[in-house]
Amino acid sequence: MKIKAALATTAAFISASALSAADLEVTHWWTSGGEAVAVSEFAKAVNEKTAHNWVDGAIAGSGGTARPIIISRILGGDPMAATQLNHGRQAEELIEAGLMTDLTDLAEAEGWKDFVYPSSLLEGCTYEGRIYCVPVNIHSTQWLWLSHDAFEQAGIEVPKDWFEFVAAAPKLEEAGLVPMAQGQQGWQQAIAFGALSISVVGIDTWSKVVVEKDADVAGGPEYAKVFQASANARELARNSNVQDWNLATNMVITGKAGGQIMGDWAQGEFAVAGQVAGEDYTCLPGLGLNQVIDTGGDAFYFPVVDDPDVKAAQLEMASILISKEAQVAFNLAKGSLPVRGDIDLSTANDCMQKGLAILAAGGVLPNADQTLSADTQTQIKDLMAEFWASDMTAEDAQARYASIIASAD
């Protein structure tokens, strides 16, 4: 009976939309080489499997540039058919204001709950019991990427964790290399800081600060180690004068820098450059210290539109984005992990396998987008931008971090 009802609902969705083709404008900020390849897989799936056209609305620049444009378009009454956002709290108020399409019926008909793994992904899309977005991938930010070429030039072994990497830094410098590549932008520095904090103090202390927002712990002696590690990292990245993350990754790819702390999307760049994980580069999830990754990621939201054709097409598109074929094609190209627990990724490379193994072992954390509001995150980014570019002491930075956490929501 239940299955019948589900089938009927799915059929209703499809028959309602089969009538006319719609142009679906999709906004996203996937513009680097690897990302562009990945998003074209989605476009291909939508164009081939439906009568609708994927109209690409890529917005250059990072999410920080794109999100305001996307949000102001939705608020301003000019919504696109679908848009990338990071699920979590970014769209909270847009949902509250009734500007996002409710996908609950579709999700129940297709049984998303049964195959989306880890389930926290769907929770990130849920607001007051209703589902408003389609998670499309899992991204984690606790990765250290190491260039085999650079360590060969310095004549040393490739490190196995963050502390070995720090110890190897002088040798790299002697060889005329930059020990750590780091894009000089607040969000990248916040990622490096976040990765260092989980790795250095461990999950319990980390979640006291980031999840429970305990300012005493954030200002305490345990967390001081995090700031000391960040100050070390700042010294290692002193001579890295690039801005964009993919330029920093390129320093690692070309062997000009020893390593970089960056999210797993860096892998797409290595793939485009034709490098092989384990041979040309090494990736260390959790910086090689704690085998955990967070489960942030990208999701597609479907703003409420008036056009009934587009409305029907939105649901069709949602169903395609989460389908097995699209998930495999997209995530292999992007280097991110798929949101379904029921697909075979044996073709994935070394790094993705490491990530999948951690997922399977349950070493998952909530992502900063889920625990901290955009406001608090911006304050942390501002602090990190200032800290990394100046000679601010670790103690000062910690005191200010603690005061941000104290007023965080």
Partner 1 sequence: MTLADTARVSDNPVRRPKQLFRNLSAKFASIPMILTALVVFVGGTAWTVAHSFTKSRLLPKWDFVGLDQYERLWNSNRWIISVENLLIYGVCSLVLTMVLGFTLAALLDRKIRFEGAFRTIFLYPFALSFIVTGLAWQWILNPDFGIQGVVRNMGWESFTFDPLNDPDIVIFGILIAGLWQGTGFVMVIMLAGLRGIDEDIWKAARVDGIGITKTYVRVIIPMMRPVFVTALVIIASGIIKLYDLVVAQTNGGPGIASEVPAKYVINYMFEAQNLAQGFAASTMMLLSVIIVLVPWAYLEFGGKKRG
Tell me which residues touch partner 1 (CB under 8 A): 64, 67-68, 71-72, 75, 90, 92-94, 96-97, 184-185, 241, 243, 373-375, 377-379, 382, 385-390, 400, 407
The minimum distance between CB 185 and partner 1, in angstroms, equals 8
Q: Which is nearer to partner 1, 162 or 387 (CB)?
A: 387
* Helix%, strand%, coil% for the chain, nearest 5: 55, 15, 30
3-state SS class at 356: helix
Q: Which is nearer to partner 1, 76 or 221 (CB)?
A: 76
| Bridge partners, residue 277, by sequence | 281
Q: Which is nearer to partner 1, 280 or 396 (CB)?
A: 396
For residue 219, report the phi and psi dihedrals to the nearest 5 degrees: -95, 0
The whole-angstrom separation of Cα 142 and Cα 190 is 11
Q: Which is nearer to partner 1, 275 or 378 (CB)?
A: 378
Q: Which is nearer to partner 1, 126 or 403 (CB)?
A: 403
The minimum distance between CB 90 and partner 1, in angstroms, equals 8
CA nearest neighbour of 110 among 1, 16, 15, 5:
5
Q: Between vectors from CA 361 to CA 358 and to CA 363, what angle results, nearest 5°?
A: 60
DSSP 61-101: S-HHHHHHHHHHHHHTT---SEEEEESSSTTHHHHHTT-B-
Q: Which is nearer to partner 1, 230 or 379 (CB)?
A: 379
Q: Which is nearer to partner 1, 301 or 387 (CB)?
A: 387
The minimum distance between CB 406 and partner 1, in angstroms, equals 12
The minimum distance between CB 140 and partner 1, in angstroms, equals 22
CA atoms 364, 369, 373, 376: torsion sign: positive
Q: Count Cβ neighbours within 10 Å for each residue of 166-194 and write b for 16 or more, e otherwise.
A: bebbebbbebebbbbbbbbbbbbbbbbbb
The minimum distance between CB 321 and partner 1, in angstroms, equals 25
The minimum distance between CB 385 and partner 1, in angstroms, equals 5
Query: 173 is written with which tokens?
Result: 């410098």
The minimum distance between CB 193 and partner 1, in angstroms, equals 14
> Which amino acid makes up residue 280?
D
For residue 61, report the phi and psi dihedrals to the nearest 5 degrees: 100, 175
The whole-angstrom separation of Cα 100 and Cα 74 is 9
